[in-house]
Amino acid sequence: MSKTNHVIPPYSMEVMTAKLFTEIEKIVVSKYKENGKALLQQGIDNFGYKDAEEIAIKATTERENHTLFDYIPKDHNSQNKYENLTPFALFARLFAQITKAIVDTYGDEGEAAIQKGIWQFGEKRGRGIAQRARVNGADNTIDQYLTNYDMGRSDLFTIETVNKSEEIEQTFTVCPLGQQWADDDMHAYGLVYCKVIDDAIAHGFNNKFNVVHDQFVLKEGQCHFRFQLKDSEKKND
């Protein structure tokens, strides 16, 4: 395919939130049936129906099919709890509440179920990033990973990126997701997400990607990554 110049905008965080919830919901309901549904409902209730509804509406207007509406009563009369929070902070809070409901009930087994949903969410994102590269005539090589990334970072992140031969080294000193989990004293639940997501996205982009994530904002005060992929390696079909 010849190289073209299609500009593909990143997904909104509302779409990302709805995508993540849908993947987690699929795993939790498959594993825990009605108890799983009840716990997810509890998590959305604790987060707030009005805020969840606004996320669901925006995701739907952006053509995202999701299951978030299934857990928001049509006749609720709740008000916004978090009018001044950014979409990144809302993503973090909703995730923490549904994860807390599951993990507090099912422990390590529940955490594994949540992480399976996160993995599926991330792997699908990674495949989408590879498709974004292909649209512009590029392969899923290391130089195309960040170039075609599907989530806008915004100035709420502080990131240092060093591009090396066959490796991208990144250090995040400020992350709005990690900051929100820290502010809410939800460190343990936030780490459930952080330990899985980047490896899942990278694997979906190219299954030969190796990700070293040896520091976490919620533990060491910064996230440190090394994304490693030989330029000659492409994903096996």
**Tens-digit pLDDT profile for the chain (237 aa)?**
556 688 899 999 999 999 999 999 999 999 999 999 999 999 999 999 999 999 999 999 999 999 999 999 999 999 999 989 999 999 999 999 999 999 999 999 999 999 999 999 999 999 999 999 999 999 999 999 999 999 987 889 999 999 988 999 999 999 999 999 999 999 999 999 999 999 999 999 999 999 999 999 999 999 999 999 987 665 544
pLDDT given for residue 234 in this prediction: 59
Over the stretch 199-229, which tens digit does the pLDDT of each residue have?
999 999 999 999 999 999 999 999 999 999 9
> Residue 205 and residue 130: Cα distance in Å, rounded?
5
Q: Which two tokens stand for residue 58?
A: 């925006």
pTM, 2 dp: 0.95
Tell me, what's the pLDDT at 19? 98
Token pair recorded at residue 89: 């902070």
Other CB atoms closer than 10 Å to residue 1's CB: what's the count?
A: 9
The model's pLDDT over 21-59, given as tens digits with 9 standing for 90+, comes to 999 999 999 999 999 999 999 999 999 999 999 999 999
**Strand boundaries in 53-165, DSSP class E:** 158-164
Residues present in the chain in total: 237
Residues 6 or more apart in contact with residue 216 via CB below 8 angstroms:
178, 191, 194, 195, 223
CA 210 to chain centre: 19
pLDDT at 27: 98
Q: Output the pLDDT for position 233.
A: 62
Q: What is the pLDDT of residue 224?
A: 98
In single-letter form, the type of residue at position 221 comes to G
Torsion sign, CA atoms 17, 21, 22, 24: positive
Neighbours of 151 (CB within 10 A): 15
186 by DSSP, 3-state: which? coil
- Dihedral angle over CA of 209, 148, 92, 117, nearest 10: -50
Whole-Å CA distances, 38 to 47, 92, 101, 105, 214: 14, 21, 9, 11, 35
Beta bridge pairs of residue 162: 169
- C-alpha 21: how far from its chain's center? 9
Cβ proximity of 181 and 190 under 8 Å = yes
